[in-house]
Amino acid sequence: MLEGGVGLGHVSSAVRTTGRFGGTVTADCNTPGRPAAAEAAAPTLRCLVLTGFGGYDKLKLQQRPAAPPAPGPGQLSLRVRACGLNFSDLFARQGLHDRLPPLPLTPGVEGAGEVVAVGEGVADRKVGDRVMVLTRWGMWQEEATVPAAHTFLMPEAMSFEEGAALLGNYLTAYMVLFDFGNLRPGHSVLVHMAAGGVGMAALQLCRTVENVTVFGTASASKHEVLRNNGVAHPIDYHTVDYVDAIKKISPRGVDIVMDPLGGSDTAKGYSLLKPMGKLITYGVANMMTGPKRNLMAMARTWWNQLSVTAQQLLQSNRAVCGFYLGALEDDPELLGRVVARLLALYSQGHIKPHIDSVWPFEKVANAMKQLQEKKNVGKVILVPGPEKD
Ligand SMILES: NC(=O)c1ccc[n+]([C@@H]2O[C@H](COP(=O)([O-])OP(=O)(O)OC[C@H]3O[C@@H](n4cnc5c(N)ncnc54)[C@H](OP(=O)(O)O)[C@@H]3O)[C@@H](O)[C@H]2O)c1
């Protein structure tokens, strides 16, 4: 076991999770009563399992018997080649995710791999297809079974790492900017967490529209990357009041505020909106201050959240929207249309996932630290491994 890694053990109980879009992702990670010798000889599959809520040690690398895949009607099984790590996985580990099924469970909402079996009624996928997947949980394992309707064919030129980095970040950024934000030429946008997964996706999407001015907040060490990716005004929110900084440059404020922070930052964002401006809130990162949950930060974020009446909105010509990708599970057609648009942008070279780092399952703690300790620029990826020497 290497530094920061997790030990490889055998899964002690069944892991069964519900698919984001109403299906079921299965990881039968249990081998009750199996003799040790038989287990040692039988081929196994690796899976990460969340065994409790808390710090990094709650994620265990385990193995389960490699039974032949048996997808049910409407499902397919895939050999997972790469998985995305998201902020929501940090919330899940801390027990702060409101839609989490009972533990133990295999986390991971997105990934990419090769189809190894298709269930009854699946006509548009075949063995060997390269697909990316968006699901509720269960992708952090070598083999997963998911509803076929929630998989998307990958272009030939796309790597598995890119496939695992695309759906969560780009669907969120696209729908926030275009569907709610109505981004148009000449607009100005404030992107918080601008160097993160969703942030970098948003920067690329802003460049697909003419003459968009982007203000981006991130740690100072990331500002050069931000400038290279179209941010006209990078702001180090650790040392500078970003409201003052933006008002100095643009006294009337901005047209769109992307708000993944919540708490007092939502009200600050609202105060920055021009008439006809839109604030889209899609996260509560302010609730997170370290590896374990912080009740004070949670209370502060909840207490300071924006409160605005319909009358105030009417009089100020502003809009406040909320976006949650996970709650679009009943509308795969809507998501399919946006994915088609994203794939067109990818093929035209307008977007390309920016991969921060790739970690084998053994190093899931290090991978999580990249996000938690604010080190990542772009997307953090996990691969089943095993880790190479
Ligand atoms: N509603 C939805 O459907 C949806 C979907 C996807 C993501 N999201 C939200 O979008 C945001 C970005 O998600 P992501 O997965 O792309 O993560 P990410 O942006 O890659 O997150 C890591 C980065 O966020 C910044 N950050 C700001 N506050 C932080 C905090 N309290 N703790 C740790 N890092 C913090 C750090 O960079 P700097 O400090 O340098 O800025 C860090 O490097 C999150 O709030 C997430 O919940 C929402």
Inter-axis angle of helices 160-174 and 197-206, nearest 10: 70
* Amino acid 386: pLDDT: 83
Cα-to-centroid distance, 199 and ligand 1 (Å): 8
Higher pLDDT, 309 or 11: 309
Mutation to probe ligand 1, out of 240, 371, 381 (largest number of atoms < 8 A from CB): 371
Does residue 166 or residue 387 have the better pLDDT?
166
Q: What pLDDT is recorded for position 41?
A: 65
More confident residue, 383 or 388: 383
What is residue 33's predicted lDDT score, i.e. its pLDDT?
A: 38
Neighbours of 144 (CB within 10 A): 29
Supply the residue whose CA is at minimum distance from atom 2 of ligand 1: 324
pLDDT band at residue 10 using 50, 70 and 90 as cut-offs: very low
What angle (nearest 5°) sits at the alpha carbon of residue 60, between those of residues 108 and 367?
Answer: 55
- The DSSP 8-state label assigned to residue 83 in this structure reads E
Q: Picking from 20-24, 268-272, 309-313, which range would have the lowest pLDDT averaged per residue?
A: 20-24
Per-residue pLDDT, 295: 95
- Whether residue 32 is predicted with pLDDT greater than 80 in this model: the reply is no
Mutate to test the pocket of ligand 1, among 90, 180, 193 (most ligand atoms within 8 A of CB): 193
Question: What pLDDT score does 117 carry?
Answer: 98
Pocket test for ligand 1, best of 374, 379, 382 (most atoms within 8 A of CB): 374
Q: How far apart are CA 331 and CA 259, in angstroms?
A: 24
Nearest atom in ligand 1 to the alpha carbon of residue 260 is 45
User: What pLDDT score was predicted for residue 330?
Assistant: 76
User: Average pLDDT for residues 230-250, to the nearest whole number?
Assistant: 98
Average model confidence (pLDDT) across the chain:
90
* CA 88 / ligand 1 centre spacing (Å): 9
Q: Ligand 1 centre from 87 Cα, in Å?
A: 6
Record: fold of 169-327: Rossmann fold (3.40.50)
Q: Retrieve residue 205's tokens.
A: 């999407």
pLDDT of residue 35: 45
Measured in Å, residue 110 CA sits from the centre of ligand 1 at 16
* Ligand 1 binding pocket mutation candidate from 20, 87, 136 (most atoms within 8 A of CB): 87
CB-based contact 366:4 (threshold 8 Å): yes
Ligand 1 atom with least separation from CA of 283: 45
pLDDT band at 25 (very low <50, low <70, confident <90, very high): very low
* Three-state DSSP class for residue 364: helix
Angle between helices 160-174 and 332-347 (to 10 degrees): 120
Helices (H) and strands (E) in the chain, counts: 11, 18
Identify the architecture of domain 44-165+353-383 in CATH: Alpha-Beta Complex (3.90)
For residue 81, pLDDT beyond 50: yes
**How many CB atoms within 10 Å of residue 211?**
9
Q: Which residues have CB under 8 Å from 40's CB, separation 6+?
A: none
Q: How far is the CA of 148 from the centre of ligand 1 (A)?
A: 29
Residue 115 phi/psi, 5-degree rounding, is -70, 130
Among 66, 76, 70, 90, CA closest to 19: 76
pLDDT at residue 100, as a whole number:
87
Summarised one tens digit per residue, pLDDT across range 57-67 is 999 999 999 98
Ligand 1 atom 47, closest CA: 283
Token pair 């950024």 is found at: 173
pLDDT for res 99: 82
Q: Assign 358 to helix, strand or coil.
A: strand
**Ligand 1 pocket mutation pick from 21, 198, 235 by most atoms within 8 angstroms of CB:** 198
Distance 368 CA to ligand 1 centre (A): 12
pLDDT digits (tens, 9 = 90+) for 131-143: 999 998 999 999 9
Q: Is 139 helix (H, G, I), strand (E, B) or coil?
A: coil
Q: What confidence tens digit (pLDDT) does each residue in 286-330 have?
A: 999 999 999 999 999 999 999 999 999 999 999 999 999 999 987
Q: What are phi and psi of 327, to 5 degrees?
A: -85, 5
Residue 251: its pLDDT value, please? 97
Size of the chain in residues: 389
How much is the average pLDDT of 355-370? 98
Cβ-contact 50, 58 below 8 angstroms? yes
Q: Report which of 199, 217, 76 is spatially closest to residue 144, judged by C-alpha positions.
A: 76
**What pLDDT was estimated at residue 104?**
96
Residue 243, both tokens? 């409201």
- Strands 130-134, 151-153: pairing is antiparallel
State residue 389's pLDDT score.
Answer: 67
What is the mean pLDDT of the segment spanning 71-87?
97
The residue among 75, 144, 74, 71 whose CA lies nearest residue 108 is: 144
Structure tokens at 213: 């001015």
CB 80 within 8 A of CB 144: yes
pLDDT of 115 higher than 90: yes
Ligand 1 pocket by C-beta < 6 Å: which residues?
86-88, 168-169, 172, 193, 195-199, 218-219, 222, 260, 282-283, 285, 288, 323-326, 371-372, 374, 376
For residue 136, report the distance from its CA to the centre of ligand 1, in Å: 18
